[in-house]
Amino acid sequence: ETGVTQSPTHLIKTRGQQVTLRCSSQSGHNTVSWYQQALGQGPQFIFQYYREEENGRGNFPPRFSGLQFPNYSSELNVNALELDDSALYLCASSFGPLETQYFGPGTRLLVL
Amino acid sequence: KQEVTQIPAALSVPEGENLVLNCSFTDSAIYNLQWFRQDPGKGLTSLLLIQSSQREQTSGRLNASLDKSSGRSTLYIAASQPGDSATYLCAVRREYGNKLVFGAGTILRVKS
């Protein structure tokens, strides 16, 4: 059984660009949650996808968007990147929206 | 709005010492509380999960307690080792909630 995987591991972008981060959920999981962790802070909830629909969103602007595919993998898209978007982006998958979340290794995004 | 605070922000101890990390939360209507370990630049490893109906959970040298009514949890690490050096995060999930709310973490350094 494979765990949660994320790609790429590291990414460097410039301000104003767009970025797509990917997450493959653990086998049997139908829910993916995304978190942003700025340096020195705890992770902050961005949104959750359950059965291909957004199922809750944190305090993030609309330029943060997502998708979930029929195989339950997920993408996080960020448009018009800002310097403050530099962070570790974590995804977590679970058997359902209220079940225990299992985290991937994260994608480190640096915006210059 | 749920807020999670962790004290101390950083801790440095000699090898072999027993130590306690503290976590407090403002809304006692939680479903569970989870302690995570995070190595530098890495994802989250779940250590212990305590349901709201439980008082404590143990795993090896780790013991986590929960006092839901007072909004507090402690993580006790016995006989600390240099390999325990990491950031420790606590997170709470509210009843019927689909997201985790994290504290900022405690950075632990165990000196050999």
Q: What is the pLDDT of residues A48-97, one digit of tens each?
A: 999 999 999 999 999 999 999 999 999 999 999 999 999 999 999 999 99
Q: Out of A58, A97, A103, name the one closest to residue B44 (CB).
A: A103
The answer, for A69 touching chain B at a CB cutoff of 8 Å, is: no
Cβ <8 Å between A43 and B44: yes
Nearest alpha carbon to residue A85 among A48, A39, A42: A39
At residue A2, the pLDDT reads 67
Query: Tens of pLDDT along B80-110?
Result: 999 999 999 999 998 888 899 999 999 999 9
Query: Tens of pLDDT along A3-38?
Result: 999 999 999 999 999 999 999 999 899 999 999 999
At residue B98, the pLDDT reads 87
Cβ <8 Å between B104 and A40: yes
- Best residue in A98, A109, A110 for a mutation probing chain B (most B CBs within 10 Å): A98
Q: What secondary structure letter does DSSP report for A59?
A: S
Triad B40, B46, B52: Cα angle to 5°: 135
At residue A1, the pLDDT reads 53
Report the amino acid identity of residue B59.
S
The answer, for B50 touching chain A at a CB cutoff of 8 Å, is: no
Q: Which residues in chain B show pLDDT less than 50?
A: none
- What share of chain A in percent tops pLDDT 90? 93
